[in-house]
Each structure stands twice: as C-alpha cells, then as structure tokens.
Amino acid sequence: MHWRIKETFSTIKLIQKFFIQGWGSSSFGGQKSQILMQAEMPIVDYKTCAQGNEDLGKVVDATMVCAGFGGDSKLSGCHGDSGGPLVCQDEIGRWTLRGTVSWGDHYCNGGPAYSVFVRINSYIDWIKCKMASEPLRPRKTI
C-alpha cells in the first residue's frame, strides 16, 4: 500500500473510514504482533477526545487527531504501534496519511479514552525541510 501526505490543513471528515496499522501488541503486556495488524477506527471530535483523555494527558487540537470508539471498546493503539500510520482514502481513492500513533491509554483498553495521533498536516513544512536537507554524516574519528 502506498500513501500520500495531505499537504493542506483541511478538515478531517468524521464520516471517512480511517485505519490504524501497526506491529504492536494487542493487549497490555502482550507480545508484539508477528504480522502487520490493521483496524478501522472512527475519528472523534476534539471535545470528545479531550474529555475522554483528560486523566491521561492534554490533547492539542492543532497538532493532534483522535480516533476510537469510546464506551467499552477494547480497540486502540498499543505498545509497539507508536509512529504507525492512521490513513484514509481521499475523494478519488488515494490512500492518505493523516496521522501517526502517538499516545493513548497505557493499558491499551480503549474504553472511554481515545488513541491520539500526530496530525501530519500540521508538520508539512517541517517534513519538507527535513526531506530537502543533507543527511547527517557520521563523524570522523581521530
């Protein structure tokens, strides 16, 4: 699967289907997955996410996006998923990277908390700058 990065700060539509992917464990303390896992997770609005995650950390709307089912759901990102993609299909079917797994419930329960992702389009300028720069070279030892 190939993804593209959404370069404009467009509003994420709550009706789109979003998918999280990762090699993380499927339960707290569990083993990392031997196969790439994927799950559909709905995007939730900022207020819902901030309330559901208030005991875990601060959600910043401009740089974060949240997904999950809330309630009694056990579906969430878990240990080992960090940095993994949150993708959706755009209007013409292209897969688009909208977030990367950042944080959530430490016990991977989902439940009233939501998985929090870095909002990729908030960092487009930084990404372009890093992609255009010279790679770091190892220091010469004397």
Mind listing the pLDDT tens digit for each residue in 1-29? 555 555 554 556 655 789 999 998 888 88
Note the pLDDT tens digit of each residue in 74-97. 888 888 899 999 999 888 888 999
Q: State the chain's mean pLDDT as an integer.
A: 86
Instruction: Identify the pLDDT of residue 3.
Output: 52
Tell me which residue of 3, 5, 38, 4 sits closest to 19, measured CA to CA: 38
Tell me which residue of 49, 30, 33, 26 sits closest to 99, measured CA to CA: 49
Instruction: Identify the pLDDT of residue 6.
Output: 55
Instruction: Identify the pLDDT of residue 12.
Output: 61
What type of residue is 67?
A
31-40, 51-60, 95-104, 105-114, range with the lowest pLDDT: 105-114
Instruction: Identify the pLDDT of residue 115.
Output: 94
Highest averaged pLDDT of the listed ranges 42-51, 104-113, 133-142: 42-51
Note the pLDDT tens digit of each residue in 55-72. 999 999 999 999 999 888
Would you say the pTM of this structure is higher than 0.75? yes
| Residues 23/39, Cβ–Cβ less than 8 Å | no
Instruction: Identify the pLDDT of residue 58.
Output: 95
Both tokens assigned to 90 = 């755009």
> Which pLDDT band, with edges at 50, 70 and 90, does 44 fall under?
very high
